[in-house]
Chains A and B, each alone.
Chain A
Amino acid sequence: MPESNPAARLVAAIQGAIEQHPLGTTMKLAEPINAGLFDGAGKPMVVTDASFLASSAGALAAVRQFFGNRWRTGDVAITNDADAGAANACEMIVVAPIFAAGTAPAAWALARARVPDFGGWELGGYSPQAVDRWAEGARIEPAKLVVGGAWRREVGDMLRLNSRTPTLTLRIAMILTETARSIAASWHAAQGIERGTIEAEIAAAVASESEKIDRAFKTLSRSKQRIEQPVRVPIPSEPIAPITVAMRYDGVRLHVALSGPAASPLPINLGRYGAQDIVIGAVSAGFAPRRLTTAAILDRVVIEVPEPSLLAAPLPATVGLGRETTGQAVFRGVLAALSANGLYVDADAAWQAYCRTALGGRLDFSTGRLSAEMAAAIRNLEAAEACG
């Protein structure tokens, strides 16, 4: 049965775009595509998973700032910059403007996924020995992958040459591009059918999710929590100071203030928006039976992250294992604070689920490297795709 409102239809369309592609299984092997639709000012409208809201909005803002008004129909830009929102060098984010009338984009489509490899020390993007961000992989501050609908050979070649899995990497970049185009097409379709009403419908969806969040938050006590959470790392190192999650609920909003040590020389730092994503992911895991698909939660959760620090480390800090190490500590810390406030969550189960949906479960924590099984699977897939 068709979804009843444009927002839901857009989400369905995004999911459909992801799943219909022939490489859908490849993507599931690696990590799911996350995608979203943003308004002309870059504000989130609908997304496939609110856990990536902060970093997606950040990436879009960075891309828009880089290119200014140099956009035209059919353009698609790409970035993997952890200062702009990517988790690490292997996470590609593509952004496409959506034009209606006028010269400025009326909306933006965004799609993101992890590619199997993008340089660095080892296959898979985990480089426990990396000394800085450049050592973790090639960097793409925004570049246009498609200009006016035409694939850009130069940028495609750079993606290909800098990956150990050139076929898969290029293919995934194309999938992301197609996904962004599908989102744009869905937006245009929604505009055609429901001209003038889509914003209102999305506002209604936001209100609905807000209500759901408020209901869940009502169960929280108003006591302040302060949780110290150790950061587990797979790399032999000096002891790492724990991160701290301070949480309080004021009756309307949940305030989460993180603190932690300075950026680490180990690749366990989070990128600029990583901690915000993890907090949203953890809070969502605490009460949401299904993924949130609007920006409602950003109005209900206030997040403070010290920058620069382990929790938001700019260049040249390494970030390759950030989500799985420091990110895990943040996730568990937030859940512990929620539990202390009356909303018990099985942290292990929630983390496992989060890993599956958001991280792909690729890291062998005993080595700090890509798991052998995943490495073999990637190699086989690359060989098969390259032959095909």
Chain B
Amino acid sequence: MTMTAKSDLITAEIIRNYFETVCGEISKVVENTSISPIFSETHDYSVGIFFADERGVSLLARAQSVPVHIFAALTSVETVLDIYKDDVHEGDLFFASDPYYGGSHIPDWTVVNPIFVDGKPRFFASVRGHVNDVGGCAPGGYNTLAREIWQEGFRVPPVKLRDRGELVSDVWNLILCNTRTKDDITGDLNAMVGGSVVGEQRLRELLTKYGEAAVVRSVDYILDYSENRLRGEISKWPDGIYRGRSVLDHDFAGGGDVPVEATVTVTGSSLKIDLTGSHPQVAGFVNSVATNTISNIYSSLVALCPDIPVNSGYFRPVTIELPENSVVNCRPPAPVGHSTVCIGSDIMEAVMKAFEMVVPALVGSANIDLVNVRVFGTNSRTGRFFVASDMTATAMSAGGANGTDGWGGYAAPFCALKLPSLEMYEQQYPYLYIQVEYAIDTAAPGKFRGAPALHYRRRMLDPVRAIVYNQGWRHPMQGYNGGRAGAGNYFILNEGSPEQVTVTEACYDVKIGKGNVIFVQSGAGGGWGDPLERVPALVAEDVRNGYVSVDGARRDYGVALDPQTLGVDQAATQALRASRLVAKPAPAA
């Protein structure tokens, strides 16, 4: 029976959903079988299904995961095919991590599992995950002192983990022996491989059920559909040239203010995004390879139109230009370890700020200016060496967006990352959490405010050492459409002890004594819209919730509250806001 065009479309839509469901299943397998909290708790991994034909490699579907991973994974699949060419066989399984070989930063490991159609590798189930250690000079993979990539970890070009179904045991071991926590990361790598194998099985079932021809035909529909939807949206946007800017506080090597400049050109149904003008390549580990930069640009774009299925079709209307030898397109041996977030978040923010002038209702915080601490030492309960990231200490306060206040989690482009269970951390590492709560008057004011900054205190139960790296102290996350910037990030190590030190940039290999406390203010995302337009009752609710003080309500929102009842004094509020509006300068032409 010949299928009609309509039934083909229905089949294609079913298949598109199937791809996304398979990605979700792979993701669940990884979550449920991995060992390290960075996988099982935080979900710092991503899943995608790719397709390759003579036109190139395309992303077909992804799980709700870290988009900056999975768009870069596309380059990993391309690199694998480029290197192996005809040496790709049924039963092969590939691995890659080197930033200059289709990766982003060394800790992001990618496995690629090819599925054959008509004797050719056509579909690929891929998992990209951030492992907790990759050897190198700094436990945990973030070497704040790195000046070249060899100081950042073990570099792995595309290699086969499995060759025609047979485990390549020495390569497998070579990768893992270059991690400090081999047992845990072996489990994580097994989880990634296992997830990709489940994906492979599901795709084979799909090909059997619908036939290879129908599935391959559906790919065109899936990609075309997203392309057409986005072109339709872009067509409604005003043609023009728009500029955005974001600034990183420092480069971790003595250089301050590292700007990213984005120029967005809207022409009909096409977009051009040009980062020319961004800072030249820097000495510290915030340089980004092109793959990572493009992935971050894409992450901003997909946040603009969240109801369009995300795949490579989505990106067909977009051309990107990156300046050579710059912080957004670096050359080896520049260190890149922190680039996925810093400068990555700034790339997203600069692009988002440019779009603020194009589609103001659609933009919102994209940045998570990362604060982070890697702690390592010997856990006296187990006698084992450990390296721990703690994603609770990273920015977890999203900015406001049109129609919603910032939420207590990652900004939209990172929203698949989960806030980890503190108890799970306490179970695995020698920690005792003594405070994790919102801090008053730190939420970025806006019609829709950002979430408050987090105050976080953790007592160490064993003597450990810490590597701390911070951004967003001088240039916190920006607001949109009149919303204000969020609060900045900073650390206090060994708080209250003679060794106390406040960190607004970075410190390396600091001793934290047993019983000593690490404090973090993990900054907040920016607000959206003019704070004077915020509904006064919502401000009053924020005050009752302890997010905003009575004084803060008056100062930041022009809302007068009765200090006893916390009720809104409507008349005083109206007068206050009116006086502020009069005092406001007229917007620039």
Contacts and interface: CB of A to CB of B under 8 A. Distances in A.
Interface of A: 66-67, 77, 117, 119-121, 127, 130-132, 134-135, 138-144, 154-155, 157-158, 161-164, 316
Q: Which of B98, B101, B177, B179 lies at the interface centre, i.e. has the most chain A CB atoms within 10 A of its CB?
A: B177
Contact of A119 (B136, B139, B177): B136
Contact of A134 (B136, B156, B160): B136
B385 A154 contact: no
Contact of A130 (B137, B177, B385): B137
A323 B189 CA distance: 36
Contacts of A66: 170, 173
A155 B171 contact: yes
B180 interface: yes
Given A158-B157, A161-B156, A162-B155, 16 more contacts: A119-B150, A120-B150, A131-B139, A132-B139, A134-B180, A135-B136, A138-B154, A139-B135, A139-B178, A140-B177, A141-B170, A143-B171, A154-B157, A155-B171, A158-B174, A161-B98
B377 to A, nearest CB: 11
26 contacts: A117-B150, A119-B136, A119-B150, A119-B151, A119-B154, A120-B137, A120-B150, A121-B151, A130-B137, A134-B136, A138-B155, A138-B178, A139-B154, A141-B174, A154-B157, A154-B158, A154-B159, A154-B171, A155-B174, A158-B155, A158-B156, A158-B174, A161-B156, A162-B155, A164-B148, A316-B180
A155 B172 CA distance: 11
B396 interface: no
A127 B157 contact: no
Contacts, number: 81
A139 B137 contact: no
Contact of B170 (A130, A131, A143): A143
Interface string B172-213: 011001111000000000000000000000000000000000
Nearest to A161: B155
A127 B179 CA distance: 18
Given A121-B151, A158-B157, A162-B154, A141 B136 contact: no
Contact of A135 (B138, B333, B465): B138
A332 to B, nearest CB: 31
Interface of B: 98, 101, 135-139, 148, 150-151, 154-160, 170-171, 173-174, 177-180, 333, 385, 465, 509
B63 to A, nearest CB: 29
Contacts of A119: 136, 150-151, 154
A288 B119 CA distance: 65
Contacts of B155: 138, 158, 161-162
A142 B509 CA distance: 31
A314 B519 CA distance: 35
Contacts of A161: 98, 101, 155-157
Q: Identify which of B137, B151, B157 gathers the most chain A CB atoms within 10 Å of its CB.
A: B137
Given A127-B137, A134-B178, A135-B137, A162 B150 contact: yes
Contacts of A140: 174, 177
A136 to B, nearest CB: 9
By CB atoms of chain A within 10 A, which of B158, B180, B385, B465 has the most? B180
A130 B180 CA distance: 14
Contacts of A158: 155-157, 159, 174
A141 B178 CA distance: 9
A164 B150 contact: yes
Contacts of A154: 157-160, 171
A141 B135 contact: no
Nearest to A142: B170
Contacts of A163: 150
B143 to A, nearest CB: 9
A121 B137 contact: yes
Nearest to A134: B135
A383 to B, nearest CB: 14
Given A134-B135, A135-B138, A144 B150 contact: no
Which 10 pairs between the two chains have the least Cβ-Cβ distance? A134-B135, A161-B155, A154-B159, A143-B170, A157-B157, A135-B137, A141-B177, A119-B150, A143-B174, A138-B154
Nearest to A153: B83
A144 B509 CA distance: 35
A154 B174 CA distance: 11
A138 B399 CA distance: 41
A161 B159 CA distance: 13
B554 to A, nearest CB: 51
A88 to B, nearest CB: 15
Contacts of B178: 134, 138-139
Contacts of A316: 180, 385
Name the residue in B170, B171, B173 with the highest tally of chain A Cβ atoms < 10 Å from its Cβ: B170
A25 B562 CA distance: 86
Contacts of A117: 150
Contacts of A130: 137
Nearest to A77: B170
Contacts of B160: 154
Nearest to B154: A138
Contacts of A155: 170-171, 174
Nearest to B159: A154
A142 B173 CA distance: 9
A161 to B, nearest CB: 4
Contacts of A142: 170
A119 B173 CA distance: 18
A130 B179 CA distance: 15
Contacts of A141: 170, 173-174, 177
B42 to A, nearest CB: 23
Contacts of B465: 131
Contact of B177 (A127, A139, A162): A139
Contacts of B156: 158, 161
